[in-house]
């Protein structure tokens, strides 16, 4: 018995010793030995022909459609134009998991060379603080038609840490035929919305399909209604930077209006349990007259999963104007959602940066996403119009082109990581009539205050 025990402890000691050796060897030779061969080749051959390999981290696992397709097309083209470059793609979804892994990568200094990134302080700050990101200069993108404000949310202390990829904005998709069949016109004022809800009440048709399970679309709705009520986006911007307040008559009036929408059945029964795909399908199957979502859903009009009758009758309209004319449809809730950043800590960050800049030459990203009807780039895309755009694409172009005021970030993106959820929860609660408009206004003002203190210690 004793002998066996001592044998066991001997083995244990050996195992410890071996693993300790492994460690010291590792730290001695190269901190990132995965790239060892690269760094070697990088030092031997300057310029053109060195072999480079880097990693692209995306939140779009589906590489056959949507933005995943656009990314993959560009990556493939870059590799065929530069045979010495090999780009491997890692994908992870949904977004919370993606963000968690990004955190792990960041804390362990293993950030993938090019990574999808959200342009808000709460996402960027931890990476910037860790010196994980390469900075860009505006000149890197000169002549590529970027909308000037697009870089704002990727800029911290005057340095650009990411490249914006989309112009996102909130619209109403409407099924023209379904409305006409019930003697209705697409709404132009908020009063029209209530009229439509009233007319469809008995018809088993949902007036507006809304993804209530995910709370973020509700926050977009809230922003839109507040903007109409107060005649712009100043209110929530000021509430966020604490020069103003959410505890404001216009916020209370907006909350009242939203609660009225809910009680009058504007979003149908049980919309708080309806998820993204559910709301989308409700509209796509012709069971809802309208659908509140961002411009990125423009592909719905070409989605063969839905009946032709629905697809052929789709239009996109801005959120209706306020009844008193104070909030106009040209005040557009538009922001620059997402982009890409380059890791500063990898061996091939120079080449990765080169690729990222190449990716956003206008004939690459902007052209690809526009021609494939994927999304609105954060760049001017007029020259890529083919005349073959869908009705919805043209409607959306009109909405964007006619807009006189852009909101910049939507309100939920301005909150700190720890307060964002409470803000969204407060909106959900308000919509479920679990809080009064007055309490709601006070509550989100408190959350905004906490967020401001956290972001500006």
- With b for 16 or more beta-carbon neighbours within 10 A and e for fewer, the 362-395 pattern comes to bebbbbbbbeebbbbbbbebeebeeeebbbbbeb
Residue 216 is a binding residue for other proteins (CB under 8 A): no
Q: Measuring CA to CA, how many Å separate 90 from each of 63, 71, 87, 96, 101?
A: 11, 12, 10, 16, 11
Q: Which stretch binds other proteins (CB under 8 A): 176-184, 240-248, 269-277, 340-348?
A: 269-277
Closer residue to other proteins, CB minimum distance, 59 or 144: 59
Q: Which of 152, 303, 429, 454 binds other proteins (CB under 8 A)?
A: 303
Closer residue to other proteins, CB minimum distance, 118 or 194: 118
In angstroms, how far is CA 192 from the centroid of its own chain? 30
Residue 213 is a binding residue for other proteins (CB under 8 A): no
Region 108-127 residues binding other proteins, contact defined as CB under 8 A: 108, 110
Closer residue to other proteins, CB minimum distance, 93 or 363: 93
In angstroms, how far is CA 224 from the centroid of its own chain? 17
C-alpha–C-alpha distance, residues 398 and 388, integer Å: 15
Closest to 169 measured CA to CA, from 341, 340, 330? 330
Q: In the structure encoding, which two tokens stand for residue 210, read together?
A: 């809304």
Residue for token digits 């977009």? 220
Closest to 213 measured CA to CA, from 254, 260, 286, 267? 267
Residue 302 is a binding residue for other proteins (CB under 8 A): no
Q: Which of 141, 173, 306, 365 binds other proteins (CB under 8 A)?
A: 306
The DSSP code for 334 is E
Closest to 171 measured CA to CA, from 283, 24, 81, 33? 283
Residue 324 is a binding residue for other proteins (CB under 8 A): no
Which x/- pattern, by CB under 8 A, does the window 25-54 give for other proteins?
A: -xx-----x---------------------
Region 280-299 residues binding other proteins, contact defined as CB under 8 A: 280-282, 284-285, 287, 296-297, 299
Residue 343 is a binding residue for other proteins (CB under 8 A): no
Which x/- pattern, by CB under 8 A, does the window 57-96 give for other proteins?
A: --xxxxxxxxxx-------------------x-xxxxxx-
- Minimum distance between the CB of residue 253 and other proteins, rounded to whole angstroms? 31
Long-range contacts of 100-107 (CB under 8 A, 24+ apart): 102/57, 102/127, 105/57, 106/130, 106/132
Residue 244 is a binding residue for other proteins (CB under 8 A): no
Closer residue to other proteins, CB minimum distance, 156 or 282: 282
Closest to 353 measured CA to CA, from 366, 335, 363, 340? 340
The residues binding other proteins (CB under 8 A) are 1, 4-5, 19, 22-23, 26-27, 33, 55, 59-68, 88, 90-95, 97, 100-101, 104, 107-108, 110, 274, 276-278, 280-282, 284-285, 287, 296-297, 299, 303-306
């Amino acid at each position: 018995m004793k002998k066996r025990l001592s044998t066991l402890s001997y083995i244990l000691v050996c195992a410890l010793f071996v693993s300790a050796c492994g460690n010291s060897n590792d730290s001695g030779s190269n901190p990132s030995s995965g790239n060892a061969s690269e760094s070697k080749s990088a030092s031997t051959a300057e310029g053109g022909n060195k072999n480079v390999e880097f990693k692209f981290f995306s939140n779009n696992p589906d590489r056959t459609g949507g933005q995943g397709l656009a990314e993959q097309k560009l990556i493939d083209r870059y590799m065929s134009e530069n045979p010495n470059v090999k780009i491997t793609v890692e994908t992870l979804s949904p977004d919370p998991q993606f963000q968690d892994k990004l955190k792990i990568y960041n804390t362990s200094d293993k950030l993938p060379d090019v990574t999808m990134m959200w342009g808000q302080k709460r996402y960027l700050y931890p990476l910037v603080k860790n010196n994980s990101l390469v900075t860009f200069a505006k000149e890197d993108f000169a002549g590529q038609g970027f909308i000037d404000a697009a870089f704002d949310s990727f800029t911290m202390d005057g340095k650009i840490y990411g490249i914006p990829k989309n112009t996102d904005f909130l619209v109403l998709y409407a099924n023209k035929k379904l409305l006409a069949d019930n003697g209705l016109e697409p709404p132009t004022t908020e009063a029209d919305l209530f009229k439509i809800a009233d007319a469809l009440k008995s018809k088993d048709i949902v007036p507006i399909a809304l993804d209530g399970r995910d709370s973020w679309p509700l926050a977009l709705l809230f922003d839109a209604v507040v903007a109409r009520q107060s005649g712009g986006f100043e209110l929530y911007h000021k509430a966020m930077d604490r020069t103003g307040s959410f505890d404001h008559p216009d916020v209370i009036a907006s909350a009242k209006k939203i609660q009225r929408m809910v009680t009058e059945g504007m979003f149908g029964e049980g919309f708080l349990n309806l998820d993204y795909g559910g709301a989308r399908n409700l509209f796509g199957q012709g069971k809802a007259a309208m659908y509140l979502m961002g411009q990125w859903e423009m592909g719905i009009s070409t989605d063969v999963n839905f009946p032709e009758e629905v697809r052929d009758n789709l239009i996109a309209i801005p959120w209706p104007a306020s009844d008193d004319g104070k909030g106009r449809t040209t005040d557009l809730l538009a922001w620059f959602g997402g982009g890409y950043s380059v890791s500063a800590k990898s061996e091939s960050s120079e080449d990765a940066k080169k690729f990222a800049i190449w990716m956003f030459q206008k004939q690459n990203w902007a052209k690809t996403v526009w021609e494939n009807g994927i999304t609105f780039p954060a760049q001017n895309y007029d020259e890529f119009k083919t005349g073959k755009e869908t009705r919805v694409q043209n409607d959306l172009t009109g909405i964007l082109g006619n807009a006189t005021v852009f909101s910049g970030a939507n309100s939920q993106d301005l909150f700190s990581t720890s307060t964002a959820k409470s803000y969204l929860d407060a909106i959900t609660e308000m919509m479920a009539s679990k809080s009064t408009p007055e309490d709601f206004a006070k509550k989100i003002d408190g959350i905004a205050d906490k967020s401001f203190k956290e972001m500006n210690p």
